[in-house]
Amino acid sequence: MSDPVTAFSATPVRRRALIAGITGQDGAYLAQWLLHQGYEVTGLHRRVSTPNLWRLASLGLVDHPQLLLVGCDITDLSATLRLMESVQPDEVYNLAGQSSVGASFDQPLTTLEINALGTAHLLESVRSTAPRARYVQASSSEMFGLVTKSPQDESTPFHPRSPYGISKLAAHWLTINYREAHGLHACCGILFNHESPLRGLEFVTRKISHGMAALARGEDIPLRLGNLDARRDWGHAAEYVQGLWRMLQHPEPREFVLATGHSLTVRGFLVAAARRAGFEPVSDGQATEEQLCDANTGRLLARVDPALYRPAEVDEVRGNARLAADLLGWRPTLLAEALAEEMVAADLVRATP
Ligand code: NAP
Ligand code: GDD
């Protein structure tokens, strides 16, 4: 493992940020934002068979002189302890996680180990070796789960519906407990869905934008989708990572909802994406029989596959980010339809991923 302190010794006055999950969607945008602000950024990434650097590469960051990538899996306490001690960060962003709700039903234990235990490792490492660091946890609107009132805010009760939601709730309360019990400056961003052209293909928005771009290029593989009636509050990832940064600049650590306040069905996102790809989608059939075809050519664009429904679904989430607006001055500007257009446009001009 390279030594982060030595690597940055020429610029001792810069603020130091540590990002867990830098190879993910949010990690890449956050690295871009922090480097732009003049930070030294240490990004930890786990060992995988092929380094997952496509997002950092697409933002032109891989060889940035103020960015250091260090191997560290957050399920390994010895590794997180050594890393925290050597970096001595001013700010720690925990974006690392098994982030797929769907996958968490098949891999509940891995999900809990990474998301809950991994978070405990990071918090324990901050407490033991860098207690003055400010810490922010990427909590999730999935914690609300089976909602009884909308919109949800910081005081809405939790009822998670997946192993993922449960793991995130454990991490959320661990973060609050390290603040209350050990005095850490620890915040939680309760993040509603946020997407971008850097989104992973396993999430529905990117699956749709990628699929519509492929159809527009002439490939004849209609999309298979699950529940089209689920509603999500979709914002843009680049705006949400700035919200996380603002939380750590605020003097008082606490929980903040980040959301747009608007929700759209998966079907609504699909229609916006299909239009951007040059189709005029019309729906036919009900629920699990539903399919969408192009009105002009009759071509099948997408159909529902009941096998892709989840064992327990979150039907709708919609957030109220008033507190973040009032205390942090954070206001999202990009909504779902604009996101769909940006994502399809990006997928039309590039190959996978
Ligand atoms: P993502 O694209 O899936 O990125 C997850 C990151 O975590 C990747 O860098 C991944 O590394 C890393 N990671 C996974 N397991 C790890 C481990 N054991 N040790 C170290 N790193 C590990 O997710 P995202 O959309 O950027 O989301 C960032 C965080 O916010 C996640 O914790 C997610 O649960 C949370 N969140 C996201 C949303 C959203 O809508 N995007 C909403 C609420 C909360 P690899 O590249 O090696 O896989
Ligand atoms: N992934 C996926 N694939 N979802 C589908 C599909 C499909 O083919 N068809 C329908 N859906 C529905 C899901 O059932 C869900 O209701 C909705 O689309 C969104 O699914 P995802 O894109 O997988 O996101 P998510 O809302 O479950 O989770 C995301 O947002 C959370 C915040 O609320 C992830 O980013 C989580 O990490 C994040 O915490």
Give the pLDDT confidence of 120-130 residue by residue, as tens digits: 999 999 999 99
Please indicate whether residue 191, judged by its CB atom, sits closer than 6 Å to ligand 1. Answer: yes
Would you state the structure tokens that stand for residue 126, as one six-digit string?
A: 């901050």
Q: Of the candidates 42, 57, 54, which has an alpha carbon nearest to the alpha carbon of residue 1?
A: 42
DSSP β-bridge partners for residue 71: 45
Cα 234 from Cα 196, distance rounded (Å): 10
Q: Decide: 23 in ligand 1 pocket, CB within 6 A.
A: yes
CA 295 / ligand 2 centre spacing (Å): 27
Regions of the chain with pLDDT less than 70: 1-13, 351-353
How many angstroms separate the CA atoms of 208 and 9, rounded? Answer: 45
Q: What is the pLDDT of residue 5?
A: 41
Pocket test for ligand 1, best of 1, 95, 232 (most atoms within 8 A of CB): 95
Structure tokens at 230: 């689920």
**Bridging pattern class, strands 67-71 and 40-45:** parallel
**Residue 298, in any domain of the structure:** no
Ligand 2 center from residue 257 Cα (angstroms): 18
Is 350 part of a structural domain of the chain? Answer: no
What would the 3-class secondary structure string for 230-241 be?
CEECCEEHHHHH
Q: Which residue from 111, 121, 126, 124 is spatially nearest to 169, judged by alpha carbons?
A: 111
| Domain assignment present for 50 | yes
**Residue 210 resides in a domain:** no
Tell me which of 26, 55, 76, 245 to substitute to probe ligand 1's pocket, judged by most ligand atoms within 8 Å of the beta carbon.
Answer: 26
State the DSSP string of 297-322: T--EEEEE-GGGS-SS---B--B--H
- pLDDT value of position 78: 98
Structural domains of the chain, count? 1
Confidence at residue 353, expressed as pLDDT on a 0 to 100 scale: 59
Does a structural domain hold residue 206? no
* Atom 2 of ligand 2, nearest CA residue: 204
Alpha carbon distance 202, 102 (integer Å): 9
Which ligand number lies closest to the CA of residue 80?
A: 1
Q: Looking at the domain assignment, is residue 294 inside a domain?
A: no
Residue 175 belongs to a domain: yes
The type of residue at 225 is L
- Taking the C-alpha atoms of residue 203 and residue 275, their distance in angstroms, rounded to an integer, is 20
9 inside domain: no
Which range of residues forms the domain containing residue 83?
Answer: 16-197+235-261+318-334
CATH number at residue 78: 3.40.50.720
- For residue 100, the ligand 1 atom closest to its alpha carbon is 3
